[in-house]
Amino acid sequence: MAQLSYREAVARGIAQEMDRDERVVLVGEDVAGAGGVFKTTAGLLDRFGPRRVVDTPISEQAILGAAMGAAMTGLRPVAEIMFSDFFAVCWDIVVNQIAKTRYMTNGQVSLPLVIKSGNGGSLRFGAQHSQSVENWAMAVPGLKVVSPSTPTDVVGLMAAAVRSDDPVLFFEHKGLYSGRAEVPDGEIVDTLGTAKIRRPGRDATVVALGLMVPRALQAADELAGRGIDVEVIDVRSLVPLDMTTILDSVHRTGRLFTVEENPRLLGWGAEIASIAVDEAFWDLDGPVQRITTPHIPLPSADSLEDLVIPSVESIGQTIEKALQS
């Protein structure tokens, strides 16, 4: 079993699928010679050559246009948008073309396409390079949306995304890239649309995604020392969304908290809260509470960014206060 960083796991997941299927190709700005701006594609050019690992101009529209065309003609491309913030400049092709093609062709044309991207804050990149935009994608029918929190999940969910016949937006959290963990040897293939219980508990259910998962787990460990036993669920996939695991947990604990890096307005936790109220109202012992960033752009200054993104301390304080009220 190897120790891999989250960024190394991205390259391993892509390599696993490129080894398995010669139709899998990688395209994006600096993904080849430079190994990616975050080094998530290091070594792939040497291993698979320039016909399958292709650098592109600095044009998000061109990257996704080429990837879409490749997918329509039988390849299974993985395209990289360096920073997820820049989905904003290619949103037309994502929303109006990639997401709609299967529906508008009555299933005659599918797009087995993965768009991977660095997402989220904590690296002091400021308002235009630190956003968590997975909730943008979640709102668009026709897209699958994935965001792993561990190196093993990166490999397995990347494999599942590449093997999907529908377009998948694969959000890699930039704040997790340097984290390391043991990853099983051999082929790893996960399942889209499955959440995982990272820590069992009886007093409350905490649902988190990406970088918020390890923070929620640390908060849960600290709360345990004060007699509060919290269950932490890693959502992993927003579309499809595994509400069965979340509702089963709420049924046992009676309390639900979401921990989101998104701005509060229309974050993914609002949808989970809505479903929980619809389907588990009589199981709830108190209101669903959402722990989010404020509805402001992400600041660059260390102290300000730390202040607005949910922290271990703010997560723990919110849960403890709610359970004691």
One DSSP character per residue, 91-116 reads HHIIIIIITTHHHHTTTSS----EEE
Q: Which of 129, 173, 251, 295 is flagged as catalytic?
A: 129
Query: Buried b / exposed e across 187-219, counting CB within 10 Å, b at 16+?
Result: ebbbebbbbbebbebebbbbbbbbbbbbbbbbb
Examine the residue annotation and report whether 129 is marked as an active-site residue of this protein.
yes
Structure letter (DSSP) for residue 160: H
Residue 256's Cβ-side half-sphere holds a number of Cα atoms within 13 Å equal to 28
First to last CA, the chain: 46
One DSSP character per residue, 209-263 reads -TTHHHHHHHHHHHHHTTT--EEEEE--EEETT-HHHHHHHHHHHS-EEEEEEEE
3-state secondary structure at position 311: coil
Q: Are strands 230-234 and 289-293 parallel, antiparallel or unpaired?
A: unpaired
State the Cα–Cα distance between residues 294 and 309, nearest whole angstrom: 8
Q: List the one residue out of 271, 269, 12 whose CA is nearest residue 153.
A: 12
State the Cα–Cα distance between residues 133 and 260, nearest whole angstrom: 11
State the Cα–Cα distance between residues 177 and 38, nearest whole angstrom: 8
State the Cα–Cα distance between residues 121 and 127, nearest whole angstrom: 9
Q: How far is CA 37 from CA 41, 117, 130, 171, 174, in A?
A: 9, 11, 15, 15, 11
Where would I find the H helices in 4-125? 6-20, 44-48, 60-72, 91-92, 101-104
Q: Which residue numbers are catalytic?
A: 129
